[in-house]
């Protein structure tokens, strides 16, 4: 059955690890939104690989890896990633990118920085040009991956946009971009990608009709969704379930189940509300222990305890069927584990999340604690062999969000995963 694997928090939940673990059971893995703002960590033998654009299924030799039309593509980054994997001996022949995926151009990256400087709310973007590229899509002036194959068309479109944005960035004292600075590199990338560029909508639909198993790989997380996240501190795409359809051209019937990924605690990179955030020595302890430094930008991630109010919301708006709980091992050795059970807003207790910043500024987390466990869980592969306290923590989460925890990750390795059989 087809499966969507998506982040339920603010990104970096461990999607790369989870998708790499699951990919072998699928014929196709497809990214449907975001761009190279994503950083999905996968271990390939002893090599730690951070994938920004390529689907995390790329290491499974029998699985096709697809970048759907909803992903914004920097072709130079894509070529770099393909070359890196080839140098590690990974077969990248079964990789496909949509000819209708919008392109990220050099001025998008400049605009990302200029817009950030001139904002009332600084977002702390990854500065990869993601937002400005999606703006051009919504503005109906985007260039697409397919344009890389037609130099005259590419130039005609790019020149107009270049001029348009040069006036803007120059007004902010930044230097403009000239098409000659990047035309050759983009055409070369187009040549390199050539036979991998295709109509992925038809390709995916044919495979779907043939009964092939498809795994949808989310980037970012539900709370970074442009419509359902903590706006304006969000990314510019839809990591939530609707993004699957707009970002692939597959019909709703193609979606079988949804597994949501959540860390056993919480992190966030960049600005924006984070009710369960920790500060001081406790935060430093958790950040160091969890290795919470951005896979894309290297920024220290903000850390906090698991927020069940926010998690319940992410489960609700996506119709998540089961959870993949990651980084349980990071909580080893704690006497007790705090978690956010509810919020107090204007003197009233609530469990109903509202992503608006006005609500979250007023929300005081109500923190409860549950006994922790001693010893390490990283070598455990059966749920029943986990310490009772760890089992209780997992069951408590499951009850709070009203869906089963199907997988528990106890380390970054592919095999460090506990799978539970679900009763149907
Ligand atoms: P993604 O963006 O959701 O794919 O997550 P990232 O790769 O940005 O960040 C997750 C980090 O946690 C990576 O360094 C993973 O290797 C690591 N990781 C994933 N699952 C586990 C786990 O269960 N335990 C530990 N200790 N590390 C994990
Ligand atoms: P993965 O797929 C965590 C955050 C940025 C910033 C906001 C907007 O690895 O989970 P953008 O560059 O997208 O305009 O930045 O979104 N952000 C992420 N945070 N994980 C990610 O991806 C992210 N991609 C974007 O830090 O706050
Ligand atoms: Mg990441």
CATH 3.40.440.10 intervals, the chain? 3-98+197-259
Atom of ligand 1 nearest to the CA of 410: 23
Q: Which ligand is nearest to the CA of 10?
A: 2
CB atoms closer than 10 angstroms to residue 18: 25
pLDDT tens digit sequence for 174-213:
899 999 999 999 999 999 999 999 999 999 999 999 999 9
Taking only Cα atoms into account, the Rg of the chain, rounded to an integer number of angstroms, comes to 21
d(CA 223, CA 360): 12
Q: How far is the CA of 13 from the centre of ligand 1 (A)?
A: 6
222: its two tokens: 């539900």
Number of residues written out for the chain = 424
CATH dotted code for 3-98+197-259: 3.40.440.10
Average pLDDT across the chain, whole number: 96
For the chain, percent of residues with pLDDT exceeding 90: 94
At 117 the pLDDT is: 86
CATH 3.90.170.10 intervals, the chain? 263-419
At 173 the pLDDT is: 86
At 18 the pLDDT is: 97
Whether the per-residue pLDDT at 227 is higher than 90: the answer is yes
Q: Any idea what the Cα angle at residue 262 is, between residues 66 and 252, rounded to 5°? A: 45
CATH dotted code for 263-419: 3.90.170.10
d(CA 79, CA 283): 37
Atom of ligand 1 nearest to the CA of 261: 3
Q: Any idea what the Cα angle at residue 33 is, between residues 202 and 269, rounded to 5°? A: 165
- Is the separation of the CB atoms in 14 and 272 below 8 Å? no
Give catalytic residues, as residue numbers.
12, 40
d(CA 240, CA 258): 11
CATH 1.10.300.10 intervals, the chain? 106-191
Q: Which ligand is nearest to the CA of 267?
A: 2
CB atoms closer than 10 angstroms to residue 285: 13
d(CA 10, CA 224): 6
Phi, psi of 343 (to 5 degrees): -120, 155
Residue bearing tokens 């419509």: 227
- Is the separation of the CB atoms in 345 and 362 below 8 Å? yes
- Is the separation of the CB atoms in 325 and 408 below 8 Å? yes
CB atoms closer than 10 angstroms to residue 270: 20
Whether the per-residue pLDDT at 424 is higher than 70: the answer is no
At 340 the pLDDT is: 98
pLDDT tens digit sequence for 256-278:
999 999 999 999 999 999 999 99
CATH architecture of 106-191: Orthogonal Bundle (1.10)
- Average the pLDDT over 83-99 and give the result: 97
- Residue 419 bridge partners (DSSP): 407
At 119 the pLDDT is: 84
3-class SS shares of the chain: helix, strand, coil, % to 5: 35, 20, 40
3-state SS assignment for residue 102: strand
Residue nearest to atom 15 of ligand 2 (CA): 125
Atom of ligand 2 nearest to the CA of 270: 27
Ligand 2, pocket-test mutation among 17, 34, 270, most atoms within 8 A of CB:
270
DSSP state, residue 104: P
Ligand 2 in reach of 269 Cβ (< 6 A): yes
Q: Does residue 376 or residue 422 have the better pLDDT?
A: 376
Ligand 2 in reach of 2 Cβ (< 6 A): no
């Amino acid at each position: 059955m087809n499966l969507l694997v998506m982040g339920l928090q603010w990104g970096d939940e461990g999607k790369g690890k989870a998708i790499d673990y699951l990919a072998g059971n699928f014929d196709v893995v497809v990214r449907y939104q975001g761009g190279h703002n994503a950083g999905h960590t996968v271990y390939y033998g002893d090599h730690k690989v951070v994938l920004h654009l390529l689907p995390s299924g790329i290491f499974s030799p029998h699985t096709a890896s697809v970048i759907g039309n909803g992903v914004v593509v920097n072709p130079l980054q894509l070529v770099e990633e393909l070359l890196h994997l080839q140098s590690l001996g990974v077969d990248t022949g079964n990789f496909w990118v949509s000819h209708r995926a919008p392109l990220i151009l050099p001025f998008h990256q400049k605009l990302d920085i200029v817009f950030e400087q001139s904002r009332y709310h600084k977002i702390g973007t990854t500065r990869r040009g993601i937002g400005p590229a999606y703006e051009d899509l919504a503005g109906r002036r985007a260039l697409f991956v397919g344009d890389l194959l037609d130099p005259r068309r590419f130039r005609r479109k790019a020149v107009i946009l270049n001029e348009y944005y040069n006036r803007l960035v120059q007004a902010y004292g930044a230097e403009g971009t000239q098409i000659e600075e990047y035309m050759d590199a983009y055409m070369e990338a187009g040549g390199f990608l050539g036979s991998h560029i295709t109509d992925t909508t038809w390709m995916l639909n044919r495979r779907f009709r043939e009964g092939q198993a498809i795994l949808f790989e989310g980037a970012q997380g539900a709370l970074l969704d442009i419509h359902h996240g903590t706006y304006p501190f969000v990314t510019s795409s839809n990591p939530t379930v609707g993004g699957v359809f707009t970002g692939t051209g597959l019909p709703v019937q193609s979606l079988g189940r949804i597994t949501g990924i959540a860390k056993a605690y919480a992190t966030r990179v960049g600005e924006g509300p984070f009710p369960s955030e920790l500060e001081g020595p406790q935060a430093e302890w958790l950040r160091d222990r969890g290795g919470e430094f951005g896979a894309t930008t290297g920024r220290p991630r903000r850390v906090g305890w698991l927020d069940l109010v926010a998690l319940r919301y992410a489960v609700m708006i996506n119709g998540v069927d089961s959870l993949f709980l990651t980084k349980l091992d990071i909580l080893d050795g704690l006497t007790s584990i705090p978690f956010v059970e509810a919020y107090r807003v204007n003197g009233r207790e609530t469990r109903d999340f509202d992503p608006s910043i006005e609500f979250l500024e007023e929300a005081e987390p109500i923190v409860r604690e549950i006994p922790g466990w001693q010893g390490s869980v990283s070598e455990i592969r059966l749920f029943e062999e986990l310490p009772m306290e760890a089992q209780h923590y997992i069951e408590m989460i499951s009850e709070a969000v009203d869906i089963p925890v199907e997988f528990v990750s106890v380390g970054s390795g592919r095999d460090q995963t506990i799978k539970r059989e679900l009763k149907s």
